[in-house]
Chain A
Amino acid sequence: MDSNSSNTPATAERPDSAVIDASIKVPVLFFLYAAAAWLVTASVLGFIAAAQLVQPAFLADYAWTTHGRIVPLARNALIYGWGFNAAFAVLIWMVARLCRTPAPKWGTTLVGGLFWNVGIKLGLTGIIIGQSTGHVLLEMPGYAAAVMFVSYGIIGAGVAIIFSRRREGSMFASQWYGLTALFWFPWLFTIAQYTLVFGSMRGTAQAVASAWYGHNIYALFLGPIALGALYYLIPKRVGRPITNYPLAQIGFWSFVFFGSFGGLATLVGSPVPAWVQTVGVSSNFMLLIPLFAIAVNLGGALLGGTKAGGSGPALKFFKLSLVSFIIVGLLTVVLSLPSFSHTIGLTFVGEALDILHWYAFVSFAFFGAIYFMLPRLIVQPWPSGALITAHFWATVAGTIIVISSLFLAGFAQGAALNDIENYATFADVMGAFSGYLVALAFGYLTLLVGSLAFFVNVVMAIYQACFSKSTASADTVFGSPAAMEVNS
């Protein structure tokens, strides 16, 4: 691959951007609405689950709302509801823009999107009424998975059609990430359903398959799409292209290769073959390579940016997302060292790392991308600057509180579990860390406030787009990228 400037996305908006945006506007706005609605749902469920840790009697009288069902509901709503819908929106828009190709038609993609969300609702209902399969991120019963699989195929075919008609010859880093993720998910999903839901592997091989799949939803789908969005939008937003493309290539291939084994590291100490655990831990160490490559690529663009007015919400979320990506990469390595992993295994630290991956890195990248793309799609600024501010600060504060309380709880829990002299009974162990769980519930409540602000803003924006006709193009409405993000 040559590293001349034609390989980086042009920093100026193409003249045909408005046509491309108009061709995908309806399905993308639908995905954004669905994503924001699921985010609120997931935040409510997350808060209920955290409150139940503090107050076990809360909503415990019905099987439907018992803690063991609320937790998978919250997790599935967050990943398949918010994460996937947001990923579809970002992916469709990014691929159409980078291929400089309008979508031939949007009706089928919209139908696929509707059925994807019907599938999730079926699946969550299945969990509520007691049909959970019991495997992390595969709890939804098989019939719901079948609906999701077919609708994913329809949505994915729409993206593939745009790609096959592309007018832009070169492929950018964002497309490597986005298109390969698009291709990997159905494969991963099929393997997982076949080995765990429709068929069944024997014994603890199930645990290996489950850990492999659960982590790859991050490492081979949501993570790559988030990185794709960062690779596309950070250079665009700061007006400085990615300069070192060979490094981007190394970053891409090593991230997906080593990332695909990362889930196995969660099985340290479990009754699975020792080599499985070793492969997982060593892959986590090898992830330092893409961590370095990606940090240099994106950090370089951020630090060397020239464009003024770089303070919109999109850029703030991109910066925090990149910082979280670096933090979680380093923490994963440090916590894989035996002196740590023997303490934090089977504690809340695992959940803390998950929230770092899914929320602080992936979701922040999606938030930034949505703040950037939605005004361009509706050719109007965001309806409320105050709601943007509320969403940003509540989300940042909530994420920090949730992650730090989970880490503190997990370390105290692990230390107490290993210290049998001072914490002889399980009630003693609980006493060592239950205080942090109050902070956790408060953190989830803060996240809920942020999600509501975001949801209201998205709904208002879509409402505006439907009921106030604007014939102007983005170029005439907005002077600068920053002007598109805030309603000034």
Chain B
Amino acid sequence: MNRGPYLFLGAFAILAFSWTAAILANQLGYGAVTPHYDSLAGQAFPAKHPGIVERGAQVYTDLGCVTCHTQQVRRADIGSDLARGWGERASVGRDYMHESTVQLGSNRFGPDLRNVGARIEDPNVFYQMLYAPAEDSAMPAYRFLFDEVKVVGQVSDDALNLDAPTGYQIVPTERARSLVAYLAYRNDTYAYPETNFVPTEPEAESDDEAAETEEGH
């Protein structure tokens, strides 16, 4: 290995192999995954995101929510995700196909948000959490997403029912609205063909999980 060319040939081969296996194989394998057309419902799943949800995704990304919140529901045999009600089923790759920036996350300093739109239906609850989180919450307040506007005459239709200094009202900014629309949209309920192969109940010790699950359903 005293000759440069052999070293660089080896270095080239290693990265080329690693790239082929980790990136190219996945791109070919499921990079072209398509929506599932449900003929009974007459529409394709997952549906494309409305514009406001897409803008909310950008707010979620630029504020770095992914630092503390994951967006992935793991199988029943790996964590308590399903038992905690963080989803009806484990997440599958197809759930994420329309997301411009996939934010799986790597640390649950806060709860998983993949299906938070199913758990919280009232948008005011989201506004409340962002403006003034609960006392025992480790989440900071995001006051900069709200405007404190002086009440002149009537209270604005957009004003939120939040603690405001007297004579003032709290109005969410466009960014806050988008973010809340995005959070409310987090709801993977549709059962794709592949979700039936993911165990939803903790399995007994078994070598052949897929077979067991098929019987179970």
Contact = CB atoms under 8 A, between A and B. Distances in A.
A272 B72 CA distance: 10
Interface of B: 1-4, 7-8, 10-12, 14-15, 17-19, 21-23, 26-27, 29-33, 61-68, 70, 72, 74-75, 77-80, 83-84, 90-97, 99-111, 133-134, 136-144
A52 B68 CA distance: 12
Nearest to A427: B136
Given A183-B11, A204-B102, A350-B106, A176 B1 contact: yes
A206 B101 contact: yes
A262 to B, nearest CB: 10
B14 A67 contact: no
B102 A206 contact: yes
A279 B105 contact: no
Nearest to A267: B104
* Of listed A66, A256, A430, residue having the most chain B CB within 10 A: A66
A460 interface: no
A409 to B, nearest CB: 10
A345 B67 contact: no
Contact of B137 (A61, A345, A351, A427): A427
A134 B61 contact: yes
Interface stretch (A317-325, A364-372, A375-383, A413-421): A413-421
B29 A132 contact: no
Given A260-B18, A346-B107, A420-B84, A204 B64 contact: no
A56 B1 contact: no
A183 B67 contact: no
A91 to B, nearest CB: 15
A207 B18 contact: no
A63 B74 contact: no
B106 A66 contact: no
A465 interface: no
A40 B32 CA distance: 44
A184 B61 contact: no
Contact of B96 (A191, A203, A426): A203
Contacts of A133: 61, 101
Contacts of A261: 18, 21-22
Interface stretch (A9-17, A105-113, A194-202, A385-393): A194-202
B84 A203 contact: no
A260 B15 contact: yes
A208 B22 contact: yes
Contact of B93 (A204, A351, A434): A204
B21 A279 contact: yes
A57 interface: yes
B140 A57 contact: yes
Given A203-B102, A418-B80, 18 more contacts: A53-B138, A130-B63, A132-B61, A163-B4, A176-B7, A179-B8, A184-B15, A191-B23, A203-B30, A206-B96, A269-B79, A273-B26, A346-B105, A347-B107, A347-B108, A348-B107, A418-B79, A420-B80
Contacts of B142: 60, 66
Contacts of A66: 63-64, 140, 142, 144
Interface of A: 1, 7, 52-53, 56-58, 60-63, 66-69, 71-72, 130-136, 163, 169-171, 176, 179-180, 183-184, 187-188, 191, 195, 200-209, 212, 216, 220, 249, 253, 256-257, 260-261, 264, 266, 268-273, 276, 279, 342, 345-348, 350-351, 413, 417-420, 426-427, 430, 434
B139 A56 contact: yes
A426 B111 contact: yes
Contacts of A271: 72, 90-93, 95-96, 104
Contact of B78 (A202, A204, A205, A342): A342
Contact of B70 (A71, A72, A171, A346): A346
Contact of A205 (B10, B21, B31): B31
A191 B8 contact: no
Given A63-B144, A204-B102, A413 B108 contact: yes
A35 B206 CA distance: 52
A76 B133 CA distance: 29
Given A134-B103, A348-B107, A188 B79 contact: no
Given A195-B23, A271-B92, A201 B140 contact: no
B100 to A, nearest CB: 6
Contact of B75 (A69, A170, A269, A427): A269
Contacts of B12: 183
A107 B61 CA distance: 40
A135 to B, nearest CB: 7
A419 B104 CA distance: 22
Nearest to A197: B101
A204 B70 CA distance: 13
Contacts of B143: 60-61
Given A201-B31, A273-B29, A345-B78, A264 B22 contact: yes
B79 A203 contact: no
B98 to A, nearest CB: 8
Given A53-B138, A207-B104, A269-B79, A132 B23 contact: no
A427 to B, nearest CB: 4
10 contacts: A63-B63, A171-B2, A171-B3, A179-B7, A191-B23, A203-B33, A209-B26, A345-B79, A417-B80, A430-B138
A249 B6 CA distance: 13
B141 A212 contact: no
B13 to A, nearest CB: 9
Contacts of B144: 61-63, 66
